[in-house]
Amino acid sequence: MQSSKLLAARLLGAAGFFATATLFIGPAVAQVRAWTHRSGQPQLQAEFIDCNHGQVWLRSLDGRTIHLPLDSLSDADQRYVHQLLQQEQARRAALAPPDGPHTIHYGQPHQLAVLACRSLDESSGLAISRRVAGLFWSHNDSDTDARLYLCDRQGRDLGSCALKEVRAFDWEDMASFVWDGKPYLLVADTGNNNLAAAVHMLHVVEEPPVDPQRGVLVREVPVVQTIYFSFDDDFRNCEAVGIDPTDRTILLVSKERGPQCHAYVLAWPKDPTNKAQVARRVATLHMRQVTGMDVSPDGRRAVVVTYNNAFEFVRQPGQTWAQALARPPREISMPDRAQGEAVCFGEDGMTLYLTSERLPTPLWEVPVVRIGPATK
């Protein structure tokens, strides 16, 4: 019998069967299946990770993560993927909470603009400005300078500024909030694809001064606090971070290579410290590849986005976030994005905005059409 490495090598040379292959180290969580190229040969024993935007991610027995077009697989494999995702969505829908008087119903997503800034070529986080309405902050992913970019609803490039004396290792998300009357931005350096980092960083800056026409008014902004933390259960890759502005509780969701991920709560340190805090695991979420998160200004709603759809968690009066995240969420349809990794609430705390990590970078809006029970 041929080894999985030999099979992977043979498949790698078979008519562009693979687009990329990157090493992933971690425990197996999905069912192994024999996948077949649409030509009939060869086959690969691998686990299913995810499918979106016409692309499939598999993990072979030797630990390789394989990225390939869905239509390069056999018809039987394509049907399996569609059926699996439909079954997962049906199970989530059956568990979704019933409509209540404050249920938000979203309309058809529409693209507002394409971002003009070509330097923002991997928009991995998105946050609404708390200084000037209609403006958005974003940042690139890893291996770039520690820089924040500003745009508006029309996609205009309104400049950028750097975080002073900060290096960006793997920036994955950001959030904006108001505390003691001042607007702040939190930038999450929490990416950990190879699961090698034990400690992660959250950089907090006062939102830079801006002008709606001239854009960013400073070249760099000082960090007012860096929060160091570790996850309490394992080394994790995290691309989704939100902050409850009512008490500065920080929420995090891990990105896993399987149908489940984990939610964590991190208390804001009482005093500035270089000691790593502990993010406490509070729930297991049944969704694939979480890539972004935001919390509404009233601290009542958290939206978690994946490469496909988004999920809304509602915290009822008197509930903790641990209790809210342990309950089934409501699923929200998102537009088809090429590697969509960023989401934020608008000024109203309900409307959703999204970008993508691929150029040209779109700015999407998901509008609110109704609040309350569904009408017949």
Contact 46, 59 (CB under 8 A): yes
Name beta bridge partners: 6. none
What's at 107, amino acid-wise? G
CA distance 67 to 71: 12
Please report the domains of the chain, with CATH numbers, ordered by start residue. Answer: 4-94 (2.30.30.700), 96-371 (2.120.10.30)
Which pLDDT band, with edges at 50, 70 and 90, does 63 fall under?
confident
pLDDT digits (tens, 9 = 90+) for 124-140: 999 999 999 999 999 99
Q: What is the CA radius of gyration of the chain?
A: 21
Please give the model's pTM, rounded to 2 decimal places: 0.89
Quickly state the pLDDT bin for 143 (edges 50, 70, 90).
low
d(CA 143, CA 171): 9
Q: Range with the lowest mean pLDDT among 36-40, 157-161, 224-228, 367-371? A: 36-40
CA distances 267 to 233, 244, 321, Å, are: 16, 10, 11
**Side-chain-facing half-sphere of 342: CA atoms under 13 Å:** 33
Q: How far is the CA of 331 from the CAs of 5, 95, 174, 307, 354, in angstroms? A: 38, 10, 22, 13, 16
Would you place residue 28 in the very low, low, confident or very high pLDDT band (cuts 50, 70, 90)? very low
Instruction: Provide the pLDDT confidence category of residue 41 given band limits of 50, 70 and 90.
Output: confident
Q: Cα angle vertex 242, ends 241, 247, to 5°?
A: 135
The answer, yes or no, to whether residue 181 has pLDDT greater than 90, is yes
Condensed to tens digits (0 to 9), the pLDDT of residues 261-315 reads 999 999 999 998 999 999 999 999 999 999 999 999 999 999 999 999 999 999 9
Q: What is the pLDDT of residues 93-136, one digit of tens each?
A: 999 999 999 999 999 999 999 999 999 999 999 999 999 999 99
Position 8 pLDDT exceeds 80 = no
| Other Cβ atoms closer than 10 A to 82 | 12
Reported residue count of the chain is 376
Calculate the average pLDDT of the chain: 90
For 216-232, write each residue's pLDDT tens digit.
999 999 999 999 999 99
- Cβ atoms 154, 113 nearer than 8 A: yes
pLDDT at 339: 87
